[in-house]
Structure 1
Amino acid sequence: MSAIQRTALVLVIIGAINWGFIGFLQFDLVATIFGGQESVLARIIYGLVGISGLYAITLLLKPSSDLEGDDNPQPTP
């Protein structure tokens, strides 16, 4: 898994945790940490999480052998 894929995955996980807090506790963790929903930093984080979610769609559509990388080469018959 490449660095971009790992970064996207981390940001998607952050977004999922934040939405879990919003859904269950009515608490926006990103807004709390970065100074409210209208702050520039919070909006940047929201944007990065959104872009990462879109990128994660491409990971979903890739065959698992493409995601494994060179560490586990597939044998050829």
Structure 2
Amino acid sequence: MAIIDKIALTLAVIGALNWGGIGLFGFDCVAFLCGGQAAVLSRVIYTLVGAAGLWCATLLFRDSEEERTPYTA
């Protein structure tokens, strides 16, 4: 798995946990740590998490390396 895939998955998990906190407890951890939802740092984090989610969506359409057959000449 490429390093960018791991970073994207990590950010997606962080985003999922944050959304879980919002849904269950009404607590936005990113906003709490970064000074509110409108703070620049919060918006950067939200944007990175969104981009990571889009990147992770591409994982659904990739062939896994285990399924590929090696090229033999």
* Cα drift, residue 76 of structure 1: 6.7
Which has the larger helix fraction?
Answer: 1
Question: 1:74 offset after TM fit, Å?
Answer: 5.5
Q: 1:1-77 counterparts in 2 under 5 A?
A: 1-65=1-65
Structure 2, gaps ≥5 residues long: none
- How far did 1:26 drift? 0.4
Deviation at 1:14, TM superposition (A): 0.4
Question: TM-score, normalising length from structure 2?
Answer: 0.87
**Residues 17-73 of structure 1, C-alpha deviations (whole Å, 9 max, x = no match):** 0000000000000000111001000000000000000011111111222xx6xxxx8
SS at match of 2:38: coil
Identity over aligned pairs, percent: 51
- The 4+ residue runs of structure 1 with deviation greater than 4 A are 73-77
Distance 2:3 2:33 in 1: 25
The normalised TM-score by structure 1 is 0.83
- SS of 1:64's equivalent in the other structure is coil
Superposition RMSD on alpha carbons, in Å? Answer: 1.9
| Distance in 2 between residues matched to 1:41 and 1:75, nearest whole Å | 45
Number of aligned positions between the proteins:
71
* Whole-Å separation in 1 of the counterparts to 2:17 and 2:42: 15
